[in-house]
């Protein structure tokens, strides 16, 4: 505008008059445009809504996670799309509801890549904006085309869907292959000791948790009775690759080092780091220096370990001088589970701790604790600390971050709620389809609606209410966050409207 021009001229004149040398001043346009912020996702595995002290836990203290919550925006209605890992990870990277992809369910370690290499992803979007892109940690989105030779380059994988650098574990800590994979190659593999992996049949002469309990140091409760690695019986059979096998108790330190190295080597350019920690998923294997520290058994100990790791990671950002130019998004892929298949004292030593907080259900559940998780955004000096009740979902990060970095890319189901993520608005999304082991339910405003599903009400092995019922369920979360009062019969009009809006998105 004219006024602005006059003002700028006046400023320039003043600068000249005060003897300010012109070469000391950047051109106005450049001075006004911010450098692109680094973006880091810190993604936990099975951390529940009540597992952090900032979210109300009293029996465990998580000071480094809390620092993100207290120095950034703490969302009280932050959601993963799903109550299990693979679908949530699919959604956070693609901005697309996982139920649109029938392969987006808990995958074995031999599953093919479930993200189409043509699919838009967060790292692809950022790459197009000049970002370096890296992933360190858990992948669990499949690798290869269905018949992987672990002794060759494993592809397609993270590097084929947008990451320039990947240092991953293929599936889960409890699934084979129990090796790290760097840019498609098994790290530390001895070519004379090739790896074979199979999820159906064991390899001749290889011990298993089922047949050789005397070789295990952690006992299986359900599942988890195939190949034994480091004394821990796993899901799936594996042979060979001795030198490449990871050390479970060193995993947290190992990934931390990789994440720190990534930050240090990319500090001079904008980068995106997807740092996917393995805690507190099973098997819970705290490093000896955290063993017994929580008084809550290994589940609590690995939460303390993860908290320490996050503190160290933050120190690295600070030391490298980039903390104030880095947006951190912290969340978890699904809600909590106490016994997920091993006897590890998690139940016995839980005490008064409530991993789901006041929420009903847990991992695998359509009740709130399945998908409502800790969710924070932190950007020192840029995001004003606060608590937000806006409903936000991990699926929204793609479109929102695109807006942040000046890209016009949009994810299929991903809403631009950047202002909510930045704490500038309390307006999030109004509705959300959540998913749990291929079943879906609906969140809208203050309401949660769960359609009828066959199947057990409770998964007895993990002791979690799954949300299955022969009737529709309708809850007003504003008055009834714990979903104790089914209003379906009392509020038939509300129910019908919810069903209609749900089916419009989901299809019948
Ligand atoms: C289940 C496993 C569970 C866990 C889960 C995946 C059994 C009986 N249970 O099938 O232990 O690995 O898959 O968790 O095998 S997730 O967080 O990666 O989705
Ligand atoms: Ca998980």
Smallest-distance ligand from the CA of 276:
2
- Which protein residues have a CB closer than 5 Å to ligand 2 (ion)? 45-46, 85, 333-334
Best residue among 44, 341, 463 to mutate for probing ligand 1's pocket (most ligand atoms within 8 Å of CB) is: 341
Which residues form the pocket of ligand 1, taking CB atoms under 6 Å from any ligand atom? 45-46, 84-85, 106, 140, 172, 174, 222-224, 235, 281-282, 334, 340-341
Q: How far is the centre of ligand 2, averaged over its atoms, from the C-alpha of 462 (Å)?
A: 14
- Tell me the backbone φ, ψ of residue 315, rounded to 5 degrees: -60, -35
Q: How far is the centre of ligand 2, averaged over its atoms, from the C-alpha of 408 (Å)?
A: 31
Q: How far is the centre of ligand 1, averaged over its atoms, from the C-alpha of 340 (Å)?
A: 7
For the full predicted model, state whether its pTM sits above 0.90. yes
Q: How far is the centre of ligand 2, averaged over its atoms, from the C-alpha of 273 (Å)?
A: 19
Q: How far is the centre of ligand 1, averaged over its atoms, from the C-alpha of 66 (Å)?
A: 27
Q: What is the DSSP string of 173-226?
A: TTBS--BEEETTEETT--TTS--EEESSS--TT--BTTT-GGG-SSEESSS--S
Model pLDDT, residue 13: 54
Q: How far is the centre of ligand 2, averaged over its atoms, from the C-alpha of 109 (Å)?
A: 14
Model pLDDT, residue 20: 44
Q: Alpha-carbon distance 421 to 361, whole Å?
A: 26
Q: How far is the centre of ligand 2, averaged over its atoms, from the C-alpha of 460 (Å)?
A: 19
Q: What is the ipTM of this complex?
A: 0.99
What integer best gives the mean pLDDT of the chain? 95
Please write the tens of the pLDDT for every residue from 138-171: 999 999 999 999 999 999 999 999 999 999 999 9
SS (H, E, C) 366-405: CCHHHHECCEEEECCCCCCCEEEEEEEEHHHHHHHHHHHH
**Nearest atom of ligand 1 to the alpha carbon of 281:** 17
**Nearest atom of ligand 1 to the alpha carbon of 45:** 17
Best residue among 174, 176, 280 to mutate for probing ligand 1's pocket (most ligand atoms within 8 Å of CB) is: 174
Model pLDDT, residue 24: 42
Q: How far is the centre of ligand 2, averaged over its atoms, from the C-alpha of 430 (Å)?
A: 25
- Tell me the backbone φ, ψ of residue 427, rounded to 5 degrees: -95, 110
Q: Alpha-carbon distance 7 to 298, whole Å?
A: 63
Residue closest via CA to ligand 1's atom 3 equals 340
24 three-class SS: helix
Smallest-distance ligand from the CA of 341:
1
Q: How far is the centre of ligand 1, averaged over its atoms, from the C-alpha of 172 (Å)?
A: 8
Model pLDDT, residue 358: 98
Low-confidence ranges of the chain (pLDDT < 50): 1, 16-32
Best residue among 92, 168, 172 to mutate for probing ligand 1's pocket (most ligand atoms within 8 Å of CB) is: 172
CA distances from 490 to 458, 473, 475, 486, 501 (A): 25, 11, 11, 8, 19
By CB atoms closer than 10 A (0-12, 13-18, 19+), residue 493 is exposed
Q: Which of 203, 365, 326, 274 has the alpha carbon at shortest distance from 44?
A: 274
**Nearest atom of ligand 1 to the alpha carbon of 282:** 11
Model pLDDT, residue 3: 52
**Nearest atom of ligand 1 to the alpha carbon of 138:** 18
Please write the tens of the pLDDT for every residue from 461-490: 999 999 999 999 999 999 999 999 999 999
């Amino acid at each position: 505008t004219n006024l602005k021009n006059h003002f700028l001229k006046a400023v320039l004149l003043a600068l000249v008059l005060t003897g300010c040398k012109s070469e000391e001043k950047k051109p106005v346009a450049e001075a006004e445009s911010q450098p692109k912020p680094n973006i880091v996702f810190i993604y936990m595995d099975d951390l529940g809504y009540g597992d952090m002290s900032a979210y109300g836990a009293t029996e465990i203290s998580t000071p480094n996670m809390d620092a993100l919550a207290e120095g950034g925006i703490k969302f009280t209605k932050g959601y993963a799309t799903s109550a299990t890992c693979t679908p949530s990870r699919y959604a956070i990277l693609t901005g697309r509801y996982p139920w649109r992809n029938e392969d987006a369910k808990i995958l074995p370690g031999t599953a093919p890549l479930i993200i189409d290499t043509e699919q838009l992803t967060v790292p692809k979007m950022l790459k197009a904006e000049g970002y370096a892109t890296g992933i360190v940690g858990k992948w669990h989105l499949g690798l290869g085309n269905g018949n992987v030779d672990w002794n060759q380059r494993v592809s397609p994988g993270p590097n084929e869907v947008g990451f320039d650098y990947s240092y991953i574990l293929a599936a889960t800590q409890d699934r084979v292959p129990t090796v790290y994979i760097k840019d498609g190659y098994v790290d530390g593999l001895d070519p004379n000791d090739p790896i074979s992996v199979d999820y159906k049949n064991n390899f001749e002469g290889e011990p298993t948790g089922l047949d050789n309990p005397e070789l295990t140091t952690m006992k299986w409760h359900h599942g988890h009775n195939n190949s034994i690695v480091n004394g821990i019986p796993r899901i799936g059979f594996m042979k060979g690759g001795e030198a490449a096998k990871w050390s479970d108790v060193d995993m947290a330190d190992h990934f931390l080092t990789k994440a720190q190295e990534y930050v240090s080597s990319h500090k001079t350019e904008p980068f995106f780091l997807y740092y996917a920690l393995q805690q507190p998923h099973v098997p819970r294997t705290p490093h000896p220096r955290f063993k017994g520290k929580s008084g809550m058994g290994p589940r609590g100990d690995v939460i303390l370990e993860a908290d320490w790791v996050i503190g160290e990671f933050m120190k690295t950002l600070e030391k490298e001088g980039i903390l104030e130019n880095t947006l951190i998004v912290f969340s978890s892929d699904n809600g909590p589970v106490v016994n997920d298949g091993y006897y590890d004292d998690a139940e016995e030593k839980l005490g008064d701790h409530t991993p789901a907080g006041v929420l009903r259900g847990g991992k695998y559940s359509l009740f709130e604790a399945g998908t409502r998780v800790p969710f924070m955004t932190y950007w020192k000096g840029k995001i004003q600390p606060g608590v937000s009740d806006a409903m936000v979902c991990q699926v929204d990060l793609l479109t929102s971050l695109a807006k942040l970095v000046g890209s016009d890319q949009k994810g299929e189901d991903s809403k631009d709620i950047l202002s909510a993520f930045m704490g500038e608005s309390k307006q999030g999304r109004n509705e959300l389809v959540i998913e749990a082991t291929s079943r879906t339910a609906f969140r809208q405003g203050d309401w949660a609606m769960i359609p009828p599903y066959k199947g057990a009400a409770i998964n007895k092995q993990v002791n979690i209410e799954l949300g299955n019922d022969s009737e529709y369920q309708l809850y007003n979360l504003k008055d009834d966050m714990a979903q104790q009062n089914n209003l379906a019969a009392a509020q038939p009009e509300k129910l019908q409207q919810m069903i209609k809006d749900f089916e419009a998105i989901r299809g019948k």
